[in-house]
Amino acid sequence: MKSSKKFIKLALPGEKLAVIEEFEGGEGTYIHNGSIRSITIGIPSYNLRSRKVEVKSKQRARIPNSGDTIIGQVESIQNNIINVRIHYLNNEINDGGFTGLLIIKTIKAGKDKQNLPMPCKLGDLIRARVVNNNNGIIYLSIDRAEDGVIFATCSVCGGKMVKIGNNIKCVECGIIERRKLAIDFSKFSL
Ligand SMILES: [Zn+2]
């Protein structure tokens, strides 16, 4: 029998499992843009007779929900969407592999798109509040004073950043960068 390569063995949160024309989404899945995706880390099971795909959770990591506080690392930034890999949930280590989205809504007017004020940069550790978990899509906010960047390294040279007023400055190369800093920037403990 020919084994189909398109059936994945281990699904990550948000991972595409199938398209809705081929399968129906069961437990542990959600639909986004015509694709069936996994809510969690788990083992997908494809039932070829009922054309149903499900994901059994591999771990029991608690799912971030509205009102929770997370600590995570900025994994990627695309336009105004910041993807944050969640490592701590309410001060407990969370290895569920969840990713939260921080959507920057307030884009200030400016001629140069590159000058959009990003509250954090790639690799930053941030604290955020979970606003909503909508079918596995976790929306974050850093509006509270305690939320924002808690640790950062220089985006130019990788040096340690220290707080100078409302900005942070690299102790190695001296570059000054702007972030939305948490009140305990660089002073937090996990
Ligand atoms: Zn530097």
Whole-prediction pTM: 0.64
Q: Which CATH class is domain 69-178?
A: mainly beta
Domain ranges of the chain: 16-57, 69-178
Assign 3-class secondary structure to 65-133.
Answer: CCCCEEEEEEEEEECCEEEEEEEEECCEECCCCCEEEEECCCCCCCCCHHHCCCCCCCCCEEEEEEEEE
Distance 162 CA to ligand 1 centre (A): 11
109-147: pLDDT as tens digits: 555 544 457 899 999 999 999 999 999 999 999 999 999
The alpha carbon of 163 and the centre of ligand 1 are apart by a number of angstroms equal to 13
How far is the centre of ligand 1, averaged over its atoms, from the C-alpha of 169 (Å)? 8
- Over its C-alpha atoms, the chain yields an Rg (Å, rounded) of 19
Q: Please give the pLDDT value at position 114.
A: 45
Q: How far is the CA of 159 from the centre of ligand 1 (A)?
A: 5
Distance 23 CA to ligand 1 centre (A): 49
CA of 152 to the centre of ligand 1 (A): 11
Residue 47: strand, helix, or coil: strand
Strand partners, 101: 83, 139
Residue 79: pLDDT over 80: yes
Residue 70 CA to residue 182 CA, distance in Å, equals 13
CA distance 134 to 137: 5
What is the Å distance from ligand 1's center to 93 Cα?
A: 30
Which structure tokens are listed for 183? 């009140």
Say yes or no: do domains 16-57 and 69-178 share a fold: yes
Q: How far is the CA of 155 from the centre of ligand 1 (A)?
A: 7
Centre of ligand 1 to C-alpha 124, Å, is: 14
How many whole angstroms from 181 Cα to the centroid of ligand 1? Answer: 18
pLDDT-derived band at 2 (thresholds 50, 70, 90) equals: very low
CB 140 within 8 A of CB 131: yes
* DSSP, res 153: B
CB-neighbour burial class of residue 5 (10 A; exposed 0-12, middle 13-18, buried 19+)? exposed
CATH number of 16-57: 2.40.50
Number of neighbouring beta carbons within 10 Å of residue 111: 5
90/32 Cα distance (integer angstroms): 28
Out of 2-6, 90-94, 143-147, pick the least confident.
Answer: 2-6
Helix/strand/coil for 33? coil
Residue in 9, 14, 54 with CA at minimum distance from that of residue 35: 14
Q: How far is the CA of 168 from the centre of ligand 1 (A)?
A: 11
**Cα 157 to middle of ligand 1, angstroms:** 4
Distance 131 CA to ligand 1 centre (A): 33
How many A from CA of 154 to the centre of ligand 1? Answer: 5
